[in-house]
Amino acid sequence: MQAIVETLFDSIYLITVITLGIFMIAKSRGDRQYRLFGVMAIVLGLGDSFHLIPRAIALCTLGLDDFTAALGIGKLITSITMTVFYILLYYVWRIRYHITESRTTTAAVYLLSILRILLCLCPQNQWLSAAPPLQWGIYRNIPFALLGLLVIVLFFRKAKEQKDVAFRWMWLTIVLSFGFYIPVVLWAEAVPMIGMLMIPKTCAYVWTVLIGYRAMRLEVCPRE
pLDDT at 4: 87
Condensed to tens digits (0 to 9), the pLDDT of residues 39-69 reads: 999 999 999 999 999 999 988 888 878 889 9
Distance CA 28, CA 54 (A): 33
pLDDT at 130: 85
Confidence class of residue 224 from pLDDT cuts 50, 70 and 90? low
The letter for the amino acid at 148 is G
Report the share of the chain in percent with pLDDT over 70: 99
- Judge contact between 64 and 58, C-beta under 8 A: yes
Comparing 57-61, 97-101, 150-154, 182-186, the range with the smallest average pLDDT is 57-61
Q: Where are the domains of the chain?
A: 2-219
- Judge contact between 33 and 51, C-beta under 8 A: no
Is residue 147 packed enough to be buried (19+ CB in 10 Å), middle (13-18) or exposed (0-12)? Answer: buried
Distance CA 47, CA 49 (A): 5
Section 167-194 average pLDDT: 93
Kindly list the distances between the CA atom of residue 67 and the CA atoms of 74, 100, 127, 176, in Å, as whole numbers in the listed order: 10, 46, 12, 29
CATH entry, 2-219, from 1.20.1070.10, 3.40.50.620, 1.20.1250.20, 1.10.3720.10? 1.20.1070.10
Section 11-38 average pLDDT: 95
Q: Is the pLDDT of residue 166 over 90?
A: yes
Contacts of 116 (CB under 8 A, 6+ apart): 79, 83, 140, 143, 144, 147
- Judge contact between 89 and 40, C-beta under 8 A: yes
Condensed to tens digits (0 to 9), the pLDDT of residues 60-116 reads: 888 878 889 999 999 999 999 999 999 999 999 999 999 998 899 999 999 999 999
pTM above 0.75, yes or no: yes
